[in-house]
Chain A
Amino acid sequence: MSQEEEIPFTSVGEEGMLKLNEVAQVAIEDTQILLVNAEGQYYAIQDLCTHDDAPLGQGRVVGCEIECARHGAKFDVTDGSATALPAFRPIATFPVRIKDGVIEVQYKKPEPPKFEDPRIGFQPFPSA
């Protein structure tokens, strides 16, 4: 059994709970997740706009994209990629399946951001 398959699925609602282009906020552990019905499929993304690390809010869905209600950043809900500025970084996505009429999300805690020195122009110099 692969490591991926060991990650459990969590029930988040009944199939049919969302109409096309609707979203719902659900929480798994301490992570806020948006369940999205885009193009007739369910997707789960982290409810955290990577522009300013605040919730996407009731973002509007068009096609497979969701637009942050606060500053207009857009993300592709199918893979989490940022498709419109001011966001640059992707958002976390989670696999979704329908089992016996129930929507299930395979939740894995998103990776914490990498440690990066934010200073523009700072030149790391060699260690001794």
Chain B
Amino acid sequence: MVTESRLSGTPMEKAPEPELGTELIPAERYTSEEYRQLEWDRMWTKVWNWAGRLQDIPNPGDYFTFELGSESILIVRETEDKIRAFYNVCPHRGNQIRNAGIGHAETFQCAYHFFEFDLQGHLVCVPDEYTFTQGVPTETGLVELPCDTWGGTVWINMNEDCESLEEFLGVIPEHLDPYHFEDMYMVQDRTIEWDTNWKASVDAFNEVYHVQGIHPQILESLDDINVQIDLYERHNRYLVPFGLVSPRYPNQDEITSSLKGMMLTAGIDPETFDGNMADVRPAMQKATREKAEAAGMDFSDLNDDQMTDDYHYYIFPNLTFNTHAGGFMMFRQRPHPTDPNKMFYDLQNFALIPAVVPHNGADADAGQRSSVEPPPRPKHETYKHGEVSLGLGLDQDSYNLPRVQRGMGSKAYKGLLINYRERRIRHMHKTLDDYIEGPDR
């Protein structure tokens, strides 16, 4: 288990800039079957993957599956303190033990021939065992793989010789533990099969250079120029200031309708607000903190900018967190098992439940936990590309990404020409190179 970091707040220091070069990133990485297979063999099966939430398996015997590429992984709570992960496959004839999704099992009995396994994966029953004249090898069982937890989340790794999750995550727990992900509950769970390569989706969320083209409406509410970018060993972040207008926005003194929307969220009436533009962001930050405290939410580990801004973290290879005080939205990009032009876009929204124990409070104890009920676990919804509206901003990305994918497949297109503000993309490719070409992690 990853140790919870000292809660001294999210570090703000600018990370040193690594030397990443300036060459084109080859388009084939996004379109070729050969590269898709390389990624699977050398990266996806070697890297730690966010599999799901502990909240989905509160009791012994509870399980969920995690589908990644051609694999399905069964994650089960064996006991109160022990989580295990198995390949979701019966060693007898290869049938999948359980359907994709969430469930509960006392034992795992394969529906095909009734081979039965306990929650440790041990084979406990073979019907008509005497008919296996060669005998059933004693080691026959569900194949286990490394699994660990952080921030209320279960992670798995298909490399049995992998580094620890703690080593893999690096600075991330120190940065994100102040948000208390473990106290956040899922309020939306969607998967959309997108018609684009998984990396094109990652890229679209890792730069704000495209805001003026694809999301012009949000120039009314954020600064897309003065964005701090920090590149760590494998993961990266940018800090996007909200609560002001973009330097590109024509009227720098206008308290726009989007800013008024943010003010309403913070509990400020925009019609009676008597400040000017420079007062908006600090007023929202102050009001947000006061509103949270009144609602019993503990934001004492977060700084003022975190009251308004999107601290946007990318955990290699496929996790994007739009992190806010009181909640976050996770994007998870999963590769398609056979087609480099498709992917699965998981969209999960999490909300902090008010009035749990103040983490830094002197008298914080279990007896003070509130009676606020967590929201019911939302149903997992699945869609094809364009079947469902995801909200204006994500609809705009969803519209654009298949066009990017088609264009990258053109014989006229050579590769990604990346600017300084887009350097998180180059950083991702550098990390990918380390898996594909570098020493085996």
Contacts and interface: CB of A to CB of B under 8 A. Distances in A.
Contacts of B214: 86
B221 interface: yes
A45 to B, nearest CB: 19
A121 B324 contact: yes
Contact of A127 (B187, B220, B258, B294): B294
Nearest to A112: B257
A115 B399 contact: no
Interface string B238-269: 00001000000000000001101111110100
Contact of B270 (A86, A89, A115, A116): A115
A123 B261 CA distance: 13
A115 B352 contact: no
Contact of A118 (B258, B267, B270, B399): B258
Contacts of A117: 258, 261-262, 264-265
A51 B391 CA distance: 14
Interface in A84-119: 85-86, 88-89, 112-119
Contacts, number: 97
22 contacts: A51-B216, A53-B216, A86-B399, A88-B392, A89-B392, A114-B257, A115-B260, A115-B263, A115-B270, A116-B257, A117-B258, A117-B262, A118-B221, A119-B221, A119-B322, A122-B265, A123-B326, A123-B327, A124-B265, A125-B291, A125-B295, A125-B354
Contacts of A88: 392, 395-396
Interface size class of A (residues with CB under 8 A): 20 to 34
Contacts of B425: none
Closest CB pairs A-B (n = 7): A121-B329, A123-B327, A128-B294, A52-B216, A121-B322, A115-B261, A123-B351
A118 B245 CA distance: 12
Contacts of B396: 85-86, 88
A48 B61 CA distance: 58
Contact of B295 (A52, A113, A122, A127): A127
Contacts of A85: 396, 399
A121 B214 CA distance: 18
B364 interface: no
Contacts of A123: 187, 324, 326-327, 349-352
B352 A125 contact: yes
Nearest to B185: A123
Interface string B309-320: 010000000000
Given A89-B392, A122-B327, A125-B352, 14 more contacts: A86-B214, A115-B257, A118-B218, A118-B258, A119-B322, A120-B310, A121-B322, A123-B324, A123-B327, A123-B351, A125-B292, A125-B354, A127-B267, A127-B294
Contact of A122 (B212, B257, B294, B324): B324
A109 to B, nearest CB: 15
Nearest to B390: A120
Contacts of B352: 123, 125
A85 B402 CA distance: 13
B258 A116 contact: yes
A55 to B, nearest CB: 13
A85 B397 CA distance: 11
Contacts of A120: 310, 322, 329, 391, 393-394
Interface string A26-66: 00000000000000000000000001110000000000000
A120 B323 CA distance: 9
A43 B220 CA distance: 30
Contacts of A127: 267, 291, 294-295
Most buried by B among A119, A124, A127: A119
A125 B264 contact: no
A119 B296 CA distance: 22
B328 interface: yes
Nearest to B214: A86
Nearest to A85: B399
A118 B258 CA distance: 6
B217 A118 contact: yes
Contacts of B324: 119, 121-123
B73 interface: no
Interface string A62-82: 000000000000000000000
Contacts of A128: 291, 294-296
B297 interface: yes
Contacts of B222: 118
B186 to A, nearest CB: 11
Nearest to A120: B322
Contacts of A114: 257, 261
A114 B217 CA distance: 12
B341 to A, nearest CB: 19
Contacts of A112: 257
Contact of B327 (A53, A113, A121): A121
A65 B260 CA distance: 33
A19 B262 CA distance: 46
A116 B261 contact: yes
